[in-house]
């Protein structure tokens, strides 16, 4: 009887794993071509607002690649992941540093590439734990295998969180500067990239001294990368 139960558990577990793999691959293939008008982080923020009894209006408008400022594309790469065009989803150097910090008794620090952040924002929840990191790695591998780099950055720019209820570059550009995502200049783009680590606390239109310094550093990195011509490497 015990062996029968074990066989059943094993069989159902394998079926569940196979189903998850198939559904996740299908979802990634669909989002390769379909505009993304939502994400799991948006769902999470909405649920949090309901629980807290504080209504939250989610603002997000999809803008295709050609209607996203090249300055914004470059600024985000310069600020978040300068190895984005060449890595396969993971920055191994940063991962080694994160593991070393954790083994030394430090916290589980972030070492996320743009690909990992896209996977997390689109399919998963916020927070740091090993289950989520494992799923994040799985979806990162999938999007790196099934999407071109341009598509990964396009989706990231359209679902990234830039303020309470503000998601995507189009909504962020309008929220902070009153322009479209296509019209952002280098300074505006660098300020938006500067607040990405803490978008619900920092402002791109009323930047603190720290944000101004970070914005200037990002602009310097953009020039060092070779300007918007760097995007041809994607």
Q: Concatenate the DSSP letters of all residues of 69-112 into one string.
A: -HHHHHHHHHHH-TTTTTSSS--HHHHHHHHHHHHTT-------
Q: How far apart are CA 87 and CA 114, in angstroms?
A: 10
C-alpha dihedral (188, 189, 190, 192), degrees to nearest 10? 90
Indicate the average pLDDT of the chain: 90
Region 51-69 average pLDDT:
94
Examine the pLDDT at 24 and tell me if it is beyond 70: yes
| Architecture of the domain spanning 32-233 | Orthogonal Bundle (1.10)
> Residue 127 — pLDDT band, cuts 50, 70, 90?
confident
Q: What is the pLDDT of residue 99?
A: 54
For the entire predicted model, the pTM comes to: 0.90
CB 113 within 8 A of CB 84: yes
Examine the pLDDT at 108 and tell me if it is beyond 50: no
CB 150 within 8 A of CB 186: no
Higher pLDDT, 16 or 226: 226
Examine the pLDDT at 100 and tell me if it is beyond 80: no
Q: How far apart are CA 68 and CA 231, in angstroms?
A: 12
Higher pLDDT, 21 or 172: 172
> Residue 109 — pLDDT band, cuts 50, 70, 90?
very low
Q: What is the pLDDT of residue 103?
A: 52
CB 202 within 8 A of CB 229: no
Q: What is the pLDDT of residue 146?
A: 97
> Residue 7 — pLDDT band, cuts 50, 70, 90?
confident
Q: What is the pLDDT of residue 110?
A: 52
Q: How far apart are CA 155 and CA 65, in angstroms?
A: 9
Region 57-85 average pLDDT:
96
Q: What is the pLDDT of residue 4?
A: 74
Region 74-102 average pLDDT:
81
Q: What is the pLDDT of residue 132?
A: 86
Query: What's 89-100 look like in SS3?
Result: CCCHHHHHHHHH
Lowest pLDDT segment from 118-127, 165-174, 209-218: 118-127
Examine the pLDDT at 218 and tell me if it is beyond 70: yes
Q: What is the pLDDT of residue 104?
A: 52
Lowest pLDDT segment from 16-25, 78-87, 128-137, 141-150: 128-137
């Amino acid at each position: 009887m015990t062996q029968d139960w074990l066989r059943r558990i094993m069989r159902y577990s394998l079926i569940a794993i196979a189903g998850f793999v198939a559904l996740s691959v299908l979802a990634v293939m669909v989002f390769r071509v379909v505009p993304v008008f939502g994400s799991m982080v948006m769902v999470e923020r909405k649920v949090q607002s309901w629980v807290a009894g504080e209504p939250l209006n989610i603002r997000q408008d999809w803008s295709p690649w050609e209607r996203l400022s090249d300055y914004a594309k470059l600024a985000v790469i310069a600020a978040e992941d300068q190895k984005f065009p060449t890595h396969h989803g993971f920055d191994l150097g940063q991962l080694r540093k994160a593991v070393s910090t954790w083994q030394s008794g430090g916290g589980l620090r972030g070492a996320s590439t743009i690909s990992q952040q896209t996977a997390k924002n689109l399919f998963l929840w916020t927070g740091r734990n090993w289950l989520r990191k494992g799923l994040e790695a799985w979806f990162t591998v999938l999007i790196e295998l099934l999407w071109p780099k341009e598509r990964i950055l396009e989706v990231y720019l359209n679902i990234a969180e830039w303020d309470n209820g503000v998601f995507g570059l189009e909504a962020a550009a309008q929220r902070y500067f009153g322009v479209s995502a296509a019209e952002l200049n280098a300074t505006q783009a660098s300020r938006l990239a500067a607040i990405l680590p803490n978008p619900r606390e920092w402002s791109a239109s009323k930047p603190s001294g720290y944000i101004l310094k970070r914005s200037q550093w990002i602009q310097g990195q953009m020039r060092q990368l070779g300007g918007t011509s760097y995007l041809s490497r994607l």
